[in-house]
Structure 1
Amino acid sequence: MLTVNASDFHVDAILPPNYKPRDLYVTNVLINGKEYCTNSTLKSTEQRITPKLSCGQRKVKHNQLITHGLGARAGDWPWHVAISSIYNSTFRYICGGSLISDTFVLTAAHCVTKVGVPVLPEYLGISLGKTNLIGANENPQEREVFKIIVHENFNHRKLDNDIALLKLTTKVIFNDYIQPVCMWSDRVDKTVPIGEITGSVVGWGFDQTDSFSPTLRTAHIPLVSDEICIKRKPIFYGSFLNGYKFCAGLINGTSVCNGDSGGGFVVFIPNEDSGITSSPDGVWFIRGIISLALSRENYKNKKFGQLTSLGNNVYTVTLLEDTYDFEVDVEAPPSYTSSLPIYVTSALINGEEYCANPALGTTRNPFRTNNSKEQSVTPKLSCGQRKVKHNQLITYGLEARAGDWPWHVAISSIYNSTFRYICGGSLISETFVLTAAHCVTKVGVPVLPEYLGISLGKTNLIGANENPQEREVFKIIVHENFNHRKLDNDIALLKLTTKVIFNDYIQPVCMWSDRVDKTVPIGEITGSVVGWGFDQTDSFSPTLRTAHIPLVSDEICIKRKPIFYGSFLNGYKFCAGLINGTSVCNGDSGGGFVVFIPNEDSEITSSPDGVWFIRGIISLALSRENYKVSVCDPNEYAIFTDVDKYDDWIKEHMK
């Protein structure tokens, strides 16, 4: 990808009336290995006095780029603890928790109670500083529980006030692998926009094999508005979102699962936003506690039995530690009189069953949120669908698997019959690939088509793949107003010499303009980016990797680096990313920022789940400061070309 090594950028920019700019200049721009615009200075005399917090900081530094999976490493989540039940000196993992001081752990109330009553403290054990649930760890500590403090209004049926504190018998000794997380109320900057938060969840819960993971795993998921959640499942989510809970997650297979309960939903806030100066980067705050989730329908598990929906108003709820059919009191519209009672059918808590033998009756159909009798006729799209199905839970890393991203292609330069990978791209039809203009130009001029090669259906850049295809490029179409210095209109089409043959591993992605439901809120989008770009070793990755990152408002981006982001965000680009070390990097340029939209939102009926749409093209990012070569800074937002703004241009040149 193109990296701009500008701690800051010197351009003509509109600034607030009271803003006095520093002396800021381009240091260098690296395009396809060539450097432009060197020699810079950076001056600043401003100083801030802010409180220093000794919580929410990682002591062990790792560089998590797009190419690094979600397997946690020692020191990544030093506040996450394992809560185990103890019986006959045997420890059995049941839930997660978050260390918030040297004597207190925060967790979910349902993890440490039976039918709403706290278990005896001596039956619980706390493990700290672990990434491996079984096996060696760096300086772990074990603690007993002195007291269990469950919220006085906890309701084990409705899960109201699902929160508890565990007071430890002896103080924890902080080290590089054991640290407390900051409380949300400790934030200095109270203006952090809640509606645009992306947090991280970790746990040893169920993985894709439906068994506990021996190693700690991570997922980055966005906080979702109550409105969006309730729209998806009005009865279920409307019953729980009472102002004291919130909704979060991705509905593309990345989620928390059984055994993750009690763990924290933690948010990284950089120094610019948090005002915290005790850490060179920023700190982590706990925003939520994992409480519950819907179970899979029609799924039989030998441990939990048959998990099914018993009626339109009865859902099987997975407490992420215990699974049972759950009672909810539902308010229908004023004109609706429901005679459909809702009951607990059974509760399995720590292996013991309660509340059996339910009754279920109805004399009337349940109400619907949309009672229109019209049948919509919508186009069936044959793009943006995964043909090979995988279940990506919190415990599964971000290494791509065959068929995960069937539209992603590798663009290579060809010289003396040698292929050299340079960029990514997205297949949008059987003859066209969409990519960034800077990937296929030199100083703004397109390279000759015969010097480019396209590889499709690959997850391994080097090595065996499932049915890959290779294509030559017939024509390179670069936007006529592409500016290689400012990267305006950084978009290009590659027309292939021969048609691609679609299969399970090669499919086109849908264009953003193909969406039927135009009401998808742009400001709350989380997308996925993939690539073979630089990993934590600052070299290309041999295997395709994935990151899920949120689209960030221009306002937030520009606030972080006013000169730099203000120079590029011109209405035809957008900002996206996590500033906690997860990012795109060198070599990821040209790849797509793709968004999964489920059938409920997209109204696409050719896929049982939903489809993927391309929303942007990876364009550029800031380089790391004081680094010997121009390499991306994974702690800054990346900038993407807004595909939606070029829809007419794309269609015109594909004729």
Structure 2
Amino acid sequence: MAYAQITFILVCVCYITTVKGTRAKTCEAPGNLNGICIPTSQCESIRKFVTERGRMSTEEKIALDLFDCGTTKRHSKVCCPYGEFNIDWAYANCTTPDGEIGKCKPVGSCTPIMDFISKFKTVSNQQKAEMRKYICPSSNQGTSMEQPKDHSKHRNINLLPKVCGEDTGVGKIRNGKATEIHEFPWAVALLGKTGGTLKYYCGGSLISNLYVLTVAHCIVFQQIVVRLGEYDLRTEIDCKDEEYCAPPHQDFEVSLSDITIHSHYNTKSLQNDIALIRLRSTVAISYKLNPVCLPITPEEKNNHAPTYTVIGWGSTGEGTKSNVLMKTNIPTQQIKKNAFHGQLNVGGVNETDPCGGDSGGPLMAHYVHHRVSKIIQYGIVSMGPLPCAKENVPTTYTKVEAYMDWILDNLKS
């Protein structure tokens, strides 16, 4: 799994211009970079990259799609980053023959290799043999990624929606920020029912018109209310700036007989921390209430999004639970595989992480295919440190991809 010995970064000065008579909007470019939304032809850094690369790999095309910030009658627009332009996050990691971390990328975009080749008019057989050590295992994408299982042919695949994760365009989150109403229309609040009192205690995500995905350790009440369409836990009707009010939230009562917990769930280690809740009636799907996507195809599982987002009503930096649905963004570099294959370790830096009450909430990322964007859930908040967002101590998520067989096997019409 070797190829490039040094991470390649293209640095250039981004000269920004704006369309005459208008003021370009600022935007957030992939990689947590700030930028400005302008016609592609005016973004010198992206235009130079495309020109120099010529024929681009699949990863590069997907990465560039993520810079798209809209179109006009005359122009396609990109979020042109201020200063440094870098899509290194789009390539798979690999290890060089010297044991260093590199990026598996096309030869033409690997500066160290190209510099080595340019020094010689001819390359000896010995030099060719050395260079071959840096070649990534072949794949259709030219990267070192092993193709994960394709679940698109599973017998129950039709029980998941074909339309999902629609980007509306409109943290247990510490140092996060409030979402917009309907920004995440699949967000689920789980409320425990004791006597006649309902109390929020966990999160979840709507994955179809019948099923909610959460973690097993959230199943602690005999009677649970699944609340859909919630935004502010304090109000029956959620309004924004007195200009728009959302429809009332919908409550679905469920009991333990409606819930499937993984048979190998470990209450101590929280391995296999995953559960499905089946609603007793179907949900009326609309743009205000619709399911998130799950990673089905190998391409979706190999998504190279620069950032991930987690949402929840959990504790804030002030130590109290949030009444409003919160979100926080997590750079891809902070997502690591856990020793247990079904878990991901995320965060542990910058004091931005999920917190108490966010368990069961989704970890999501944008996926772009043929210029169509959707949001896919890749993780479920499982466990984290106390106090929350502790430096160098990440939050652990259940890795959705590892449980796609289990999820699909347990769906019923």
Measure the CA separation in 2 of the matches of 1:110 and 1:492: 50
SS of 1:527's partner is strand
Alignment pair present for 1:594 and 2:364 = yes
Q: Tell me, yes or no, if structure 1 residue 308 matches structure 2 residue 91.
A: no
Letter in 2 for 1:590: G
Matches within 5 A, 1:236-247: 237-239=49-51
- Gaps in structure 1 of 5+ consecutive residues: 1-106, 115-204, 224-232, 254-292, 300-306, 310-315, 322-376, 391-396, 442-446, 558-567, 601-607, 625-630
Counterpart position of 1:432: 211
* TM-score normalised to structure 1 length: 0.39
> Whole-Å Cα distance in 1 between the matches of residues 14 and 406 of structure 2?
55
CA distance in 2 between counterparts of 1:109 and 1:632 reads 35
Choose the corresponding residue for 2:400, options 615, 632, 643.
Answer: 643
Helix, strand or coil: the match of 1:433?
strand
Q: Please report how far the alpha carbon of residue 599 of structure 1 lies from its aligned counterpart in structure 2 after TM superposition.
A: 2.2
Higher relative helix content: 2
Match of 1:613 in 2: 376
CA distance in 1, matches of 2:81, 2:307: 24
AA of the residue aligned to 1:618: V
- Asked whether the equivalents of residues 616 and 641 of structure 1 are also in contact (C-alpha less than 8 Å), the reply is yes
1:542 and 1:494 map into 2 onto residues whose CA distance is 23
How far did 1:436 drift? Answer: 0.7
Q: Which of 514, 519, 527 matches 2:308?
A: 527
C-alpha distance after superposition, 1:133-181 (max 9, x if no partner): xxxxxxxxxxxxxxxxxxxxxxxxxxxxxxxxxxxxxxxxxxxxxxxxx
Matched, 1:508 2:291: yes
What amino acid does structure 2 have at the position aligned with 1:612? I
Measured after TM superposition, the shift of residue 308 of structure 1 is: 2.0
Shift of 1:238: 1.9
How far does residue 583 in structure 1 lie from its aligned partner after superposition? 1.0
Is the contact between residue 306 and residue 331 of structure 2 (CA under 8 Å) also seen in structure 1?
Answer: yes
Counterpart-to-counterpart distance in 1, 2:332 and 2:202: 22
Question: Aligned residue for 1:221?
Answer: 31
Q: Name the residue aligned to 2:122.
A: none
In 1, Cα distance between equivalents of 2:231 and 2:169:
15
Question: Does the CA contact (< 8 Å) of 2:359 and 2:383 recur in 1?
Answer: yes
Q: Give the TM-score of the pair, scaled to structure 2.
A: 0.60
1:580 matches 2:350: yes
- How far apart, CA to CA, are the structure 1 residues paired with 2:300 and 2:259? 34
Show the 5 A alignment for 1:19-98.
none
Native 8 Å contact 1:614 1:643 kept in 2 = yes
Residues 477-517 of structure 1: CA deviation (Å, up to 9, x unaligned): 1111111111111001111122211122110112212x3x5
Spell out the pairing of 1:189-588 with structure 2 (5 A cutoff).
Answer: 221=31, 237-239=49-51, 296-298=70-72, 308=75, 381-386=162-167, 388-390=168-170, 398-441=177-220, 447-448=221-222, 451-463=223-235, 464-465=237-238, 466-467=246-247, 468-474=249-255, 475-513=258-296, 515=297, 518=299, 521=302, 526-551=307-332, 569-577=339-347, 579-588=349-358
Query: Judging changes above 3 Å, is the alpha-carbon distance between structure 1 residues 211 and 381 closer, same or farther for their aligned structure 2 residues?
Result: same
| Alpha-carbon distance, 1:110 to partner | 4.0
Shift of 1:219: 8.4
For 2:215 and 2:301, the matched residues in 1 are separated by 25
Q: Secondary structure at the match of 1:455?
A: strand
The question of whether the paired residues in 2 share the 8 Å contact of 1:586 and 1:632 is answered with no
Aligned length: 291
* Alpha-carbon contact 1:551-1:574 (below 8 Å) kept: no
For the structure 1 residues 477 and 109, does the alpha-carbon distance in structure 2 shift closer, same or farther, using more than 3 Å as the test? Answer: closer
CA deviations on 1:596-628 (whole Å, 9 max, x unpaired) are 11123xxxxxxx73222211111011223xxxx
Residues 637 and 241 (structure 1), Cα distance of their counterparts in 2 relative to 1, 3 Å cut: farther
Change beyond 3 A, Cα 1:462–1:220: farther
Distance in 1 separating the partners of 2:385 and 2:314: 15
Higher alpha-carbon Rg? 1
1:297–1:237 CA distance, 2 compared to 1 (3 A): farther
SS of residue paired to 1:511: coil
Structure 1 residues 252 and 611, CA gap change in structure 2 (3 angstroms): same
SS in structure 1 of the partner of residue 330 of structure 2: strand
Structure 2 CA distance, aligned partners of 1:641 and 1:622?
A: 15
CA distance in 1: counterparts of 2:339 and 2:208, whole angstroms: 29
Asked whether the equivalents of residues 581 and 635 of structure 1 are also in contact (C-alpha less than 8 Å), the reply is no
CA contact (8 A) 1:406 1:504 kept: yes
Structure 1 residues 234, 580: CA separation in 2 closer, same or farther (over 3 Å shift)? closer
Work out the CA distance in 1 between the residues paired with 2:180 and 2:65: 15
Output aligned runs, 1:136-155, within 5 Å: none
Q: Percent identity at matched positions? A: 26
Deviation, 1:653, is: 1.7
Distance in 2 between the 1:478 and 1:593 partners?
20
Answer yes or no: is 1:633 the counterpart of 2:390.
Answer: yes
Could you tell me which amino acid in structure 2 is paired with residue 633 of structure 1? Answer: K
- In 2, the alpha carbon distance for the partners of 1:511 and 1:318 equals 27
Q: Evaluate the alpha carbon distance shift between residue 646 and residue 613 of structure 1 in structure 2; reply closer, same or farther with a 3 A threshold.
A: same
Please state how far the C-alpha of 1:525 moved relative to its aligned partner: 5.9
Residues 349 and 389, structure 2, Cα contact 8 Å, conserved in 1:
no
Q: CA deviation at 1:297?
A: 2.2
Equivalent AA in structure 1 for residue 343 of structure 2 = K
Q: CA deviation at 1:234?
A: 9.6
Q: For 2:359, what is the secondary structure of its paired residue?
A: coil
Q: Are 2:301 and 2:401, in contact at CA under 8 Å, matched by a contact in 1?
A: no
Between the aligned partners of 1:492 and 1:510, the Cα distance in structure 2 is: 17
User: CA 1:640–1:404 in 2, change beyond 3 Å: closer, same or farther?
Assistant: same
Aligned to 2:71, the other structure's residue is in SS state coil
* One-letter amino acid of the structure 1 residue matched with residue 403 of structure 2: Y
Deviation at 1:400, TM superposition (A): 0.9
Shift of 1:550: 3.5
Question: Matched residue of 1:504: which SS?
Answer: coil
